[in-house]
Amino acid sequence: MEGPLTAESQLDHVEVARANGKNPDLRLLALLLVVSSPVNEVATIFLVIYLLLLVFGRKVEVHSLQFLTVLYILIVNAVVGILSSGISFGVNFALSVLFYFPLIFFVAYKPSIADKRLHRYDIKKTLELYLSIEVVTSACTGVYFYFFGGRERLDIAFGDVIAGTFRVPLTYCVDSATKTFSFSIILVTFLYIAFYRKQCNKILLLLILCTVFVGSVNHLILAAMAAIFFAIGLRRPFLVAAGIGSLIFGYAVLQPSNLSMLQERLSLVFHVLRESNFKDLSIVGPKGEYVKNYFRDLANYPLNFGFTGVGLGQYSDRAAMYLTGEFVKLPIKIVSTWMQKNTLALYHDYVSRPGYLKGSFFYPYNAIFSLLAELGLLFSFFIGVFFIRSVNKIKFFSKAGKIFIVVFTILAGFVDHYYQYSQAWFLFVLVLFVLNSENGIHNIEENL
């Protein structure tokens, strides 16, 4: 496993960093803001075009083995899906690939952008400006709804209004903007800390942490805390314990109802794990039934679910949900048999439930089991290995940083379609490629 940059290699670049990087890269800042815009369909198409321009402009270098393997997996998966369900399901496959594209890009190409202009700008200032904009827009919306929107306390569903530039400021509607925002900000903030370390703006970090906390995407907060525990828990137990204690205290004082809800839901999960009885999964609601259905299908169709998968966009991923016409309004509906008999029926049960029995915890789908069902166990294993290998090639990630990003990604995937929130992944992947490039490394300043 490659280690992070050494102190000596960092100090070698101090003069270069001081001589360059005087101003923020406004082009990069504009790109980050465009992709985090409220019109996520436009942003998704735009980011795919941008990544393809990097490929065709030879700004990125391909991982030959990983690229060819991913290409082979996608071709086989498309053929299997279309042969089993019909040519119309090529639409499902294409939409699914569109949503996965930033992650496909991450595993298929080496994490670096060959752009000599990068060292002319201060990427640190660019990131700080972007994160500041997200904090300010979230704060304005939060203050507006607290005083004028009928949400006089920071508890329960207040966090649904916090979405930065991922939703039009001072507005609220039922969508995935809050989750996309929180997931993206956690990833980008992690990169900011991992790269700049002691040079980070401490006040900005505190404001970001407060914004994510008020946003109340509780499962992501728990996933991040668990990832921190796995990454540094044994080496810095007191620091981790202090962080967990502070989080619990914050919930108890500001969000007591959210804390009670978390305790109830975690107790259900621990009950199932403790008893090792998958028959009890139904107590977790539609998501528990969804997981039970997956293992039933795995037992009944071992060839499909073990090797080739049933086809992207056909079981329960974001594309499959889109094309039901019930998740979002589209001019066409293409619903597979897999979706019809499993997730769609559970989704109808989910939407009929009262508000306190809704939320990400009860969604009748998630990224992990969608991937396992649609790509198969074997193909999913290869994708997972390639993702870990790509993370391992990031020069400025410490061992703890690599553990954090892998654990956080896995845990988040058990709750929602986070692997297909292309807006969030694009921000992470693009900033990562910029910082990991040779000219990006030149922006490291002395931080010891």
Q: What pLDDT is stored for residue 375 in this prediction?
A: 95
Please list, in sequence order, all residues whose beta carbon lies within 8 angstroms of the beta carbon of residue 377, skipping any fewer than 6 positions away. 305, 306, 307
As a whole number, mean pLDDT of residues 258-280 equals 74
- Beta-bridged to residue 109, according to DSSP, are 62
**Residue 211, Cβ density class (10 Å: 0-12 exposed, 13-18 middle, ≥19 buried):** buried
CB 333 within 8 Å of CB 324: yes
- The number of beta carbons lying within 10 Å of the beta carbon of residue 232 is 19
Tell me the average pLDDT of the chain.
85
Could you tell me if 407 and 186 are in contact, meaning their C-beta atoms sit under 8 angstroms apart?
A: no
| Residues whose CB falls within 8 Å of the CB of residue 204, separated by 6 or more in sequence, listed in order | 128, 131, 132, 135
* 299 pLDDT higher than 60: yes
Q: Whose CA is closest to 178, among 346, 323, 36?
A: 36
Long-range contacts of 258-264, Cβ-Cβ distance < 8 Å, separation of 24 or more? 258/155, 258/156, 258/216, 258/218, 261/156, 261/218, 261/356, 262/218, 262/222
Q: What is the pLDDT of residue 206?
A: 95
Q: Pick from 150, 174, 60: which is nearest to 113 by CA?
A: 60
Question: From CA 91, how far away is CA 25, in angstroms rounded?
Answer: 37
Can you say how many angstroms the Cα of residue 220 is from the centroid of all Cα atoms in its chain?
9
Tell me which of 269-278, 335-344, 393-402 is least confident: 269-278
Q: What is the pLDDT of residues 108-137, one digit of tens each?
A: 998 888 776 666 678 899 999 999 999 999
Using the predicted structure, report yes or no on whether residue 41 has a pLDDT greater than 80: no
- In the prediction, which pLDDT does 8 show? 40
**Residue 445: its pLDDT value, please?**
42
Contacts of 25 (CB under 8 A, 6+ apart): 118, 120, 121, 122, 123, 126
Task: Give the model confidence (pLDDT) of 385-436 as tens digits.
Answer: 999 999 999 988 999 999 999 999 999 999 999 999 999 999 999 889 888 8
Is 404 within 8 Å of 227 (Cβ atoms)? Answer: yes
Average pLDDT of the segment spanning 56-79? 91
Please give the pLDDT value at position 24: 85
Task: Provide the whole-model pTM.
Answer: 0.89
- Give the domain ranges of the chain: 7-441
Straight-line distance from the first to the last Cα atom of the chain, in angstroms, rounded to the nearest whole number: 23
Region 244-252: what's the mean pLDDT?
88
Segment 11-37, tens digit of pLDDT: 334 333 443 446 888 888 888 998 898
